[in-house]
Structure 1
Amino acid sequence: MFANMALRNVLKSSAGVLRESGALCSALSVKPWTCGSTLLSGPRVSCVAGGFAVSPPVRHYARAAKKKKTGSDSQLSDLPPTMLKMDYTAVPLAQTTDDLVKRLLSLELASHSEKLELKREQLISKVQRDENDRSSVEVQVAILTARIRNYQEHLQKHHKDKANKRRMLMAIDRRKKILKNLRLVRYDAFEKVCEQLGITYTFPPEYYRRATHRWLAKKAFCIKVFNEVQKQKAEQRLKMKQDLALTDTEAAKTKAVEAQ
């Protein structure tokens, strides 16, 4: 019974507070269904007769558009769209046709593989030894360079493509081995290839090993054993020289005795 009476008193007091707040809103010449920002801070709250009602959340539809990442220029960007495809460059009739046919035969409507093939031929023509050269070391470097740059451009857009990343690393290792051998055999051709294709050759890092106590002790022991072995070999060589000298003197004595 006492609990019911206490609950009724609480409800009456809360109703009185709500009436006073509604009267305050009307006294401040505010619309009866809204409250001014001077009264409430935080989310917008509307004053309804005898209670408060929270307005629905505002949806931010007018968000700023995300800026696209501007990557480096493609190796195919220097190819003009008016250039003919590689299959039609040697055809004289393609130069005299109308504009519509030229547009169909040009790079404007060509696929990525056709543009890449034309770029590969351009790189090969810079370093090949003669017109019929298709298998020399310089040509192999040019083909690998076009392939590597194509993989790099693809990975800038699709950085999670692990298969193409693996192919790119394999091509880089292959080109590095070829350039290393070319640098040892023909240094002038190596410099020409790097200059014409824009390749920066970096030397491999020096061998580095972490110097632990166990490794240092093992290295000192190996050095000690090596020095001892060298001493033994030097003693053996000295003994062999002495034996040869003794045999030479004995042979000379025997010859002198025989001569007498």
Structure 2
Amino acid sequence: MFTNIGLRAVLKSSVGVLRESSALCSAVSVQPGTYSSALLCGQTVSRGSFAVPPPIRHYARVAKKTEIGRESQLSDLPPTMLKMDYAAVPLAQTTDDLVKRLLSLELASHSEKLKLKTEQLIKKVQRDESDRSSVEVQVAILTARIRNYQEHLQQHHKDKANKRRMLMAIDQRKKLLKKLRLFRYDTFESVCEQLGITYTFHPEYYRRVTHRWLTKKEFCIKVFKAVQKQKAEQKLKLKRSAHPTETEEAKETMVQAQ
């Protein structure tokens, strides 16, 4: 019995679907010119009790404007320049074009280009050709590393590890520049000018004074004074326990003097 009821329900639903599809075919087939012109105008076409909605126009999206970042520090390196390991080799200058292309920066990796750029910055500020450990050279190495981190973070702004390394390098360079500024100001100015560094001072500490902050400060001062007083009493007790004979002799002399 239940199977018969299920079959009847399925047959009724299939008959309804067939009727709707036949009505759609008749609406589309009758007067095709009128249907197409009405749809192009954006009007709804009705055929009896059946209505065909106008088509939805999916226009192309506006292209996003790419943000133009600052120019890379490696962009001034010509691609025909030889790598740092082969620049001093005389045989590399006389080879054919294919070998020169393999030894040039055109097919070099990013690390090799960065190494060459670091060497260029070092040559600007080093004291002599053998200088590799002075403060100026360390500042030049850190500058090339910081700019490389900044270019990397422009594309990968969620890279927290490299951001932390960049901030550590910035702090280290600021310490070196501060030391250089205190002892050799002329060298400090020339290094900043050659490397294009803008030295900024730390901002002055400022805190808005509130009633809660003043109350807490007074309480901290009271606690500090109480602790200092307690420490002084403990020191006095330790002195008296360490030299009891001196205190007794002082009392005897006081009695004799009286």
2:177 pairs with 1:179: yes
1:59 Cα deviation after fit: 3.4
Q: What is the CA–CA distance in structure 2 between the aligned matches of 1:50 and 1:216, rounded to whole Å?
A: 80
1:207 equivalent in structure 2: 205
1:3 equivalent in structure 2: none
Give a deviation string over 1:147-173, Cα, whole Å, max 9, x none: 000011111111111111111111101
Q: Using the aligned pairs only, state the percent identity.
A: 73
2:22 equivalent in structure 1: none
Give a deviation string over 1:112-154, Cα, whole Å, max 9, x none: 1100000000001111111111111111100000000001111
1:65 Cα deviation after fit: 2.9
> Is contact 1:34–1:46 with CA below 8 Å preserved after alignment?
no
Unaligned runs of 5+ in 2: 1-26, 222-258
Residue identity opposite 1:183 in structure 2: R
1:33 Cα deviation after fit: 2.6
1:64 Cα deviation after fit: 3.5
Q: Give the alignment of 1:3-18 within 5 angstroms.
A: none
Residue identity opposite 1:100 in structure 2: L
User: Helix, strand or coil for the counterpart of 1:69?
Assistant: coil
1:32 Cα deviation after fit: 4.0
Residue identity opposite 1:140 in structure 2: Q
Q: Give the alignment of 1:130-169 within 5 angstroms.
A: 130-169=128-167
> Is contact 2:39–2:54 with CA below 8 Å preserved after alignment?
no
Residue identity opposite 1:112 in structure 2: H
Distance of aligned partners of 1:154 and 1:220 in 2 relative to their CA distance in 1, 3 Å threshold = same
TM-score normalized by structure 2?
0.67
Give a deviation string over 1:26-49, Cα, whole Å, max 9, x none: 9xxx944356489x8xx5423335
2:98 pairs with 1:96: no
> Is contact 1:35–1:47 with CA below 8 Å preserved after alignment?
no
Unaligned runs of 5+ in 1: 1-21, 223-260
Count of residues in correspondence between the two structures: 193
Residue identity opposite 1:155 in structure 2: L
| Match for residue 170 of structure 1 among 158, 168, 174 | 168
Q: Which has the higher helix share?
A: 2
Q: What is the CA–CA distance in structure 2 between the aligned matches of 1:80 and 1:214, rounded to whole Å?
A: 62
Give a deviation string over 1:240-260, Cα, whole Å, max 9, x none: xxxxxxxxxxxxxxxxxxxxx
1:219 Cα deviation after fit: 7.1
- The structure number with the bigger radius of gyration is 1
User: Helix, strand or coil for the counterpart of 1:47?
Assistant: strand
Q: Give the alignment of 1:46-195 within 5 angstroms.
A: 46-48=45-47, 50-60=49-59, 62-195=60-193
Q: What is the CA–CA distance in structure 1 between the aligned matches of 2:61 and 2:161, rounded to whole Å?
A: 36
